Amino acid sequence: MTTPSPPPTPSSDPSPADATPPDSFRFDEDLCHVNRSAPKVWNDASLRNKVTLIIIVSATAGAGIGILEMKFGHLTWPLFLALAFVISGLIAFARTWVVSPADQLITNILDICTNTSPRTIKRLPTERRDEIGQIARITQRLAVSAVKDAQEIAHLRRTLTQRIEHATRRACSQLENLASRDPLTELGNRRALDEQLDALYAAAKATRTDLLAVMIDMDNFKQINDLLGHDAGDELLVLLANILRGSIRHDDLPVRLGGDEFLILLPGCPLYRAQQLADNTRKLFVRQAKMSFSDSKLRATPNLSIGIASMNHDKAEHGDALLKIADGRLYKSKHSGKGVTTMPTNTQPHMTDDQVSNSKRFGNDDQENNRRVG
């Protein structure tokens, strides 16, 4: 006894009519629901063929009714009633298959004009194979292209804006840097000093540390300018700036006040360290200056006069007072034979034997520690 074969199962492969269109061609079910339920051949037919068929059916129906009227005159009213039903049906078919899809397409296009979101674009009946579908697909391509162009323009605008902002910030930063830098020595200028002096003084007060001001003035600078020209003077200024830049810490502030006068602010620095800095700077500067101007006819070698002030030892009440004290000690050094460092009163900084000898040589006028380095 043979076992009956099971009934064939329906194929699980979807037919082309049931296949889901890709995302870019999907649209809402309520837009073209009539077209989906229609026969595929009729739905894919062109609008002109549909209109032609409606006209042919109308003409045929009219001719048929006319013939029946001629043959059966007593059926006039039923024939006219039948003709009215035929015309009404043809109008309904024309509205359903021609007018409504066109109106819906116009509505979709108007929606896209005001809102180019993907959801609005997907509502276009791009799956139709008639003129409505062709117009929908062309509209879809134009809308997608417009969206892409708008996105690219927005991206370019953002990129351009970012580049302009970056260039503006960089230019402003460069201008601020140039405004606070001495163009010759590339040290800070008086504006940089004005911007940072009060902050350094307040920070030293808050942390209960010291703030030292080292005022430096170049000796015999006018003679160099008069005999060798301003280029030689600029060379000395750059030399001193490079020595200062290589001798200080990251937190120290070197400034060219103007002419041949320089200032270094040393936050949290002990006095002996400032004295060592002054001595080393002078020695290195004198040595380099002798090498640079060994063949010149200068009557005196360039040297440095230095005045040092301490916020704590001198009890400076503010930053400007500290600078005035340092400037007074610099003036004292200039009138003590030049090449001298004048320290705060009643301090015992670290000294080498040569420094002690030089200090004794110049004495301790007005209880200031004066030293000369030859």
| CATH 2.40.50.140, domain 190-372, yes or no | no
Encode the chain (374 residues) as per-residue pLDDT tens digits: 444 444 444 444 444 334 344 444 333 333 333 344 444 555 566 666 767 777 777 777 767 766 766 666 666 666 667 767 777 777 777 777 777 788 888 888 888 888 878 888 888 888 877 788 888 888 888 888 888 888 899 999 999 999 999 998 998 887 877 788 888 999 999 999 999 999 999 999 999 999 999 999 999 888 888 888 888 889 999 999 999 999 999 999 999 998 999 999 999 999 999 999 999 999 999 999 888 877 666 667 789 999 999 999 999 999 999 999 999 999 999 888 878 999 987 554 434 344 444 444 333 443 344 444 33
pTM comes to 0.54
Q: Using CB atoms within 10 A of its CB, is residue 370 exposed (0-12), middle (13-18) or buried (19+)?
A: buried
Residue type, 128: R
pLDDT at 329: 94
Nearest to 213 by CA among 347, 348, 316: 316
pLDDT at 225: 83
Judge whether 226 and 180 are in contact, CB under 8 Å: no
Helix, strand, or coil (residue 310): strand
Report angle CA 123, 125, 126 to the nearest 5 degrees.
110
Q: What is the DSSP letter of 30?
A: T
Judge whether 309 and 213 are in contact, CB under 8 Å: yes
pLDDT at 350: 39
3-class SS letters over 215-267: EEEEECHHHHHHHHCHHHHHHHHHHHHHHHHHHCCCCCEEEEEECCEEEEEEE
CA distances to 124, 132, 183, 202, 345 from 48, in Å: 21, 11, 83, 90, 111
Query: Phi then psi for 61, rounded to 5 degrees?
Result: -65, -40
CA distance 257 to 249: 19
> Per-domain residue ranges for the chain?
23-150, 190-372
Query: Phi then psi for 121, rounded to 5 degrees?
Result: -65, -35
pLDDT at 28: 39
Judge whether 302 and 218 are in contact, CB under 8 Å: yes
Nearest to 121 by CA among 111, 130, 133: 111
Helix, strand, or coil (residue 51): helix
CA distance 133 to 136: 5
Buried b (16+ CB within 10 A) or exposed e, 334-352: bebebbbbbbbeeeebebe
